[in-house]
Amino acid sequence: MSEQEIILGCLQNDYNCQKALFDKYSGVLLTICRRYFNDSSLAEDALQDGFIRIFNKIDQFKFEGSFEGWMKRITVNICLRKLQNENRKFDWSEIHHVKENAVNPVVDSDLNEEEILRLISKLPNGYRTVFNMYALDGFSHKEIAAKLGITDSTSRSQLVKARNMLQKMILDLYEE
Amino acid sequence: MRNNLDKIFDEKLNAYSSHVSENIWSNIHMNLPQHSANRNKRWIFLLLLFIGVSIAGSLIYYYKQFQNNSSADESIVQAVEQNFAGSLLKPTANSVETNIGLGHKETVQTDQSNHNLTGNPVSGPKSGRGVGLVLGESDLLEDRTISFTENIDDESSTNEQGAETLASTIQNKRFADKRTLLMTPADLGRRSTFVYSNQTVRRSKSKTLGDCFEEASELYFISFNVSMDYPFRSLFSANIGEIQNYIVNRENTESGLVSFSAGITGGYIHPRGWKAETGIQYTQLNEKFLFVKENVIKIQTQITIDTMYNGDGTYTIHRDTTSIEVLGFEEMKTSNHYKMLDIPLIFGYNFYFKNIGIEANAGFIFNVASSSSGRIFNPDLIPSYYGKKTNGSFLPYRMRFGTSFYGSLSLKTTIKGHTQFYFEPNARYYLRSFSSSSNPVNQKYFVLGLSSGIRYYF
């Protein structure tokens, strides 16, 4: 079943097509949710809500651009909304005037995906959210600031702190 | 500006697929509008069909029961008057005074419809001259109540013989037919010891998020439901030996009928599947009382008018009045109703199997107000009305029927958006006896029902 057939089937609320879409993309979308939540049950809740939104809004997909990208964007938005609803306290401790290239990370490309997810999950909520949005989901600092209700500089500082922390964790991993 | 770390993380995670637990799909699917547009239409059609059948069935039952109740209540005297009002006497072809003899009110029945009494003639004192028709059934009164005897030449010469032959023929035919209908109390109500009662309703939950997951963690709903129920009754007493005969008579004369309930409820569903629900509900349990009283005597009066022509061209009219006692039985048939206004408090848990939502429910239904009406044997084994017709002289049941326990298993499916349709087999057990202190036996009910309804999620 092609992606287009699946989408058309989902538009008709066809059970088999909905299930096919879920089987095909749920793993990838769950990875996104796991990046934002360090609690697996919260990540699964976000995935669940994300798919419900996708199925309910699939008629708004105009077959322009990547369908997977459209789903990912919905999932990220769901994660952000859930984070806000959860009233999670972000660590917005400021490190102002930090240059983005102040960190020169060393990353071992042999780190597998689960190890990377584990490292990200160890970040404080604020660091993790900004790092995910900027480094992995392509948001600009301006967009991040607007979505999270913070300043651009705070977003930049959070990103730097996240990278530094990740770098340190990776180095610690080597030393072990 | 993205750095090396960002790129490597992105490359690693961009296409990485995490393991997804199976129950996530179940939870998702539970909250999705299911099926194609045609299938939605089919569900709507089935829903409307079921509701229509339920309402029609309830109305038919109620109407029949109302009719039975009314017929059993008619005055016998009134019935006699109505019969003759429509008989051949009314035209007064010969301007003859009409005399109608009435027997004892409780034993006489000259009924037109003939479904309460029948029997055989036991005696027939004649008075006057002419022909007396011995009629065993009131139908004959309408057809041939009056026999005209013409005598032109001889006052004593009448066609009495012919009239009697006609009457005999009709009479024999009628009684031959009637014998096939004769029933005794023993024939009538050999039923189970248990009688019935009615039911309730429940609704179920399931969350239907749609777009509303921003608020996220809880769902509210409103439900409308109708249930067809059947009551099972038990009669018992601590002094069973002393009132065994009473219980047997009650069981032989009362039986359950299809009952119903309907209500509107609202509730809350936690995302984990737990549900709490309450509302208001009307419940009606129906039963039938059927008792046949034997050896009932009715008295019928027939009037025969003879017109005799004299030789000079004039004529004389003679009237012959005949009273007949007819032995038969009387059928007493009444619908008994137990009506309740209840407040349910139900808790449930939801889960999903394939594309069917399942909800297990349990809880209590609190009775707010009750009423009962109908007819049963009183402690002296006399059929007695209770409720509205008694002016409080016979009160066998409580003013409130008390709390009942409710359990059900609901099967539901989404028909459109936030709307679900569900079937819900249910059971309801009344914790208290319906009986008051004037009722010599305890009367408890267990009700099985099948409810259906619509639930809308906010």
Which tens digit of pLDDT belongs to each residue from B441-455? 899 999 999 999 999
Amino acid B65: pLDDT? 60
Describe the crossing of helices A113-121 and A152-175 by its angle, rounded to 10 degrees: 120
Cα–Cα distance for residue pair B255/B249, rounded to 1 Å:
12
| Cα–Cα nearest to B285, from B345, B234, B340 | B340
The shortest C-alpha distance from B347 to chain A (Å) reads: 24
Q: Specify the higher pLDDT residue, A91 or B381.
A: B381
B211 and A56 within 8 Å at the Cβ level: the answer is: yes
Tally of CA atoms within 13 A in the half-sphere of B206 that contains its CB:
36
| Cα–Cα nearest to B100, from B136, B137, B145 | B145
A22 and B28 within 8 Å at the Cβ level: the answer is: yes
Look at residue B437 and give its three-state secondary structure.
coil
> Which range is most confident: A126-130, B29-33, B143-147, B450-454?
B450-454
Amino acid B383: pLDDT? 87
The pLDDT mean for chain A works out to 83
Instruction: For an interface test with A, give the residue of B12, B25, B29, B272 to mutate (most A CBs within 10 A).
Output: B12
Kindly report, residue by residue over A6-42, the tens digit of the pLDDT: 888 888 888 888 889 999 999 999 999 999 998 888 8
- The encoded tokens of residue A67 equal 């369908």
Asked whether the beta carbons of B413 and B421 are under 8 A apart, the reply is yes
Amino acid B227: pLDDT? 95
The pLDDT mean for chain B works out to 69
CA angle B408, B410, B413 (to 5 degrees): 170
Tally of CA atoms within 13 A in the half-sphere of B119 that contains its CB:
27
Amino acid B188: pLDDT? 35
Amino acid B257: pLDDT? 92
Domain A3-85 shares a fold with domain A92-175: no
* Cα separation values, B368 from B282, B404, B408, B437, Å: 10, 12, 22, 20
Kindly report, residue by residue over B56-109, the tens digit of the pLDDT: 776 776 666 656 554 444 333 333 333 333 333 333 333 333 333 333 333 333
B290 φ/ψ angles, rounded to the nearest 5 degrees? -135, 115
**Which chain B residues are within 8 Å of A81, Cβ to Cβ?**
214
Kindly report, residue by residue over A122-166, the tens digit of the pLDDT: 998 888 999 999 999 989 999 998 888 888 888 888 888 888 888
The CATH class for the domain spanning A92-175 reads mainly alpha
Supply the ipTM of this predicted assembly: 0.85
Percentage of chain B beyond pLDDT 70 is: 60
CB atoms within 10 A of CB B106: 12
* Cα separation values, A18 from A26, B64, B355, Å: 11, 51, 12
Amino acid B95: pLDDT? 34
Mean pLDDT throughout B420-447?
90
Q: Tokens 């004192």 identify what position?
A: B125
- For chain B, the straight-line distance linking the first and the last C-alpha, in angstroms and rounded, comes to 44
Residues, chain B? 458
- The encoded tokens of residue B60 equal 């038919």
Amino acid B3: pLDDT? 76
Amino acid B222: pLDDT? 92
At B390, is the pLDDT very low, low, confident or very high (cuts 50, 70, 90)? Answer: low
Asked whether the beta carbons of B325 and B121 are under 8 A apart, the reply is yes
Amino acid A91: pLDDT? 52
Task: Say if residue B405's pLDDT is above 90.
Answer: yes
Side chain identity, residue B411:
L
B369 φ/ψ angles, rounded to the nearest 5 degrees? -150, 150
Side chain identity, residue B26:
S
Q: Which residue of A has its CA nearest to B2?
A: A135
Q: Which residue of A has its CA nearest to B355?
A: A15
Write out the DSSP string of B251-319.
HHHEEEEEEEEEEEEEEEE-TTSEEEEEEEEEEEEEEEEEEEEEEEEEEEEEEEEEEEE-TTS-EEEEE
Cα–Cα distance for residue pair A18/B355, rounded to 1 Å:
12
Cα–Cα distance for residue pair B2/A101, rounded to 1 Å:
9
Domain ranges in chain A? 3-85, 92-175
Look at residue A13 and give its three-state secondary structure.
coil
- The encoded tokens of residue B280 equal 């208001």
Q: Specify the higher pLDDT residue, B384 or B115.
A: B384
Kindly report, residue by residue over B41-60, the tens digit of the pLDDT: 566 767 777 777 777 776 77
- The encoded tokens of residue A43 equal 């990540």
Percentage of chain B beyond pLDDT 90 is: 22
Q: Which residue of A has its CA nearest to B1?
A: A100
Tell me which of A90-94, B169-173, B295-299 is least confident: B169-173
CB atoms within 10 A of CB B159: 16
Amino acid B389: pLDDT? 63
Asked whether the beta carbons of B430 and B444 are under 8 A apart, the reply is yes
**Which chain B residues are within 8 Å of A111, Cβ to Cβ?**
8, 12
B2 and A135 within 8 Å at the Cβ level: the answer is: yes
| Cα–Cα nearest to B333, from B375, B388, B295 | B375
B29 and A136 within 8 Å at the Cβ level: the answer is: no
- The encoded tokens of residue A93 equal 């401790």
Amino acid B386: pLDDT? 87
Tally of CA atoms within 13 A in the half-sphere of A63 that contains its CB:
7
- Chain B residues touching chain A at CB-CB below 8 Å: 1-6, 8-10, 12-21, 24-25, 27-29, 31-37, 209-211, 213-217, 271, 355
Which positions ≥6 away from B62 have C-beta within 8 Å?
A: none
| Cα–Cα nearest to B411, from B457, B446, B453 | B453
* Cα separation values, B178 from B163, B165, B340, B368, Å: 22, 20, 42, 49
**Which chain A residues are within 8 Å of B3, Cβ to Cβ?**
100-101, 103-105, 163
Look at residue B87 and give its three-state secondary structure.
coil
**Which chain A residues are within 8 Å of B34, Cβ to Cβ?**
13, 15
Q: Specify the higher pLDDT residue, A88 or B300.
A: B300
Q: What is the largest CA-CA distance in chain A?
A: 55
Asked whether the beta carbons of B9 and A135 are under 8 A apart, the reply is yes
At B425, is the pLDDT very low, low, confident or very high (cuts 50, 70, 90)? Answer: very high
Tally of CA atoms within 13 A in the half-sphere of B67 that contains its CB:
6
- For chain A, the straight-line distance linking the first and the last C-alpha, in angstroms and rounded, comes to 47
Instruction: For an interface test with B, give the residue of A11, A14, A19, A31 to mutate (most B CBs within 10 A).
Output: A31
CB atoms within 10 A of CB B277: 25
Q: Specify the higher pLDDT residue, B245 or B153.
A: B245
| Cα–Cα nearest to A10, from A30, A72, A19 | A19
The shortest C-alpha distance from A1 to chain B (Å) reads: 18
Cα–Cα distance for residue pair B373/B436, rounded to 1 Å:
14
CATH topology of domain A3-85: Rna Polymerase Sigma Factor; Chain: A (1.10.1740)
| Cα–Cα nearest to B111, from B279, B296, B278 | B296
Task: Say if residue B38's pLDDT is above 60.
Answer: no
